[in-house]
Structure 1
Amino acid sequence: MKNIQVFDGARNAVYDIFSATDEEFNLIFPAGQDVAFIDEVYERGDANQLDATFNLIWTRRIPKREAQGIHGLLFYELDEKKIYYPTRKDEEATNPDGGRLR
């Protein structure tokens, strides 16, 4: 199982962490990537399969204090963050000018 932290643009978002099977995780994050934006996930996948997958994932919330690592970041309604993750890999996050964030 892999943990996904969800970042939502809603004002009351709490950035929960959910557990996903390896197969579910791979539907959301292409090989080598650990950052995803929901619109891109649906652009490259089957909507019915993704809906079913997310319905399962949403039943597996993990309290943050119990999470054993975060393996992926999933963004909703935060398209402005795309510029910081051009490779969709967290460790390669950049500033808008291309300079590394870390």
Structure 2
Amino acid sequence: MKNIQVIDGAQNCVYDIFAIDEEGFALIFPEGQDVAFIDEVEARHPFQLLGPVFERLWRQRVPKREANGIHGLLFFELEEKKPFYPDRTDENAINPNGSRLRGE
């Protein structure tokens, strides 16, 4: 199982973590990526394929104190975050000027 932290644009977003099997994770996050935006996920796969994956995901919330790592970030409604993750990996996040967000 892998853990996905969900971040959305709602004022009251609580950044919940959900568990998903490897197959579901692979549908949300292409190989080598650990950051996803819901509109891009939906553009890659038909609803018939994604619907069951998200049904499983939403049923498996993991309390943060029990989470053993976060394997992916899934953004909802936050288009403005896309430029910070050009290769859709958290480790390579960049600032608006293109410099790395994290020091070397």
Smaller-chain TM-score range?
Answer: over 0.9
Percent same amino acid among aligned pairs?
64
Partner Cα separation in structure 1 for residue 7 and residue 43 of structure 2? 19
> Equivalent residue for 2:88?
88
Large movers: runs of 4+ above 2 Å: none
Alpha-carbon deviations, 1:48-95, whole Å to 9, x = none?
Answer: 211111011100000000000000000000110001000000000001
CA RMSD across the alignment: 0.5
Partner Cα separation in structure 1 for residue 18 and residue 78 of structure 2? 19
SS at match of 1:92: coil
> Equivalent residue for 2:12?
12
Give, in angstroms, the shift of residue 97 of structure 1: 1.4
Matches within 5 A, 1:1-102: 1-102=1-102
SS at match of 1:83: helix
Q: For structure 2, which runs of at least 5 residues remain unmatched after alignment? A: none
| TM-score normalised to structure 2 length | 0.96
Partner Cα separation in structure 1 for residue 95 and residue 60 of structure 2? 33
| TM-score normalised to structure 1 length | 0.98
Give, in angstroms, the shift of residue 100 of structure 1: 0.3
Count of aligned pairs between the two proteins: 102
Q: For structure 1, which runs of at least 5 residues remain unmatched after alignment? A: none
Aligned letter for 1:12? N
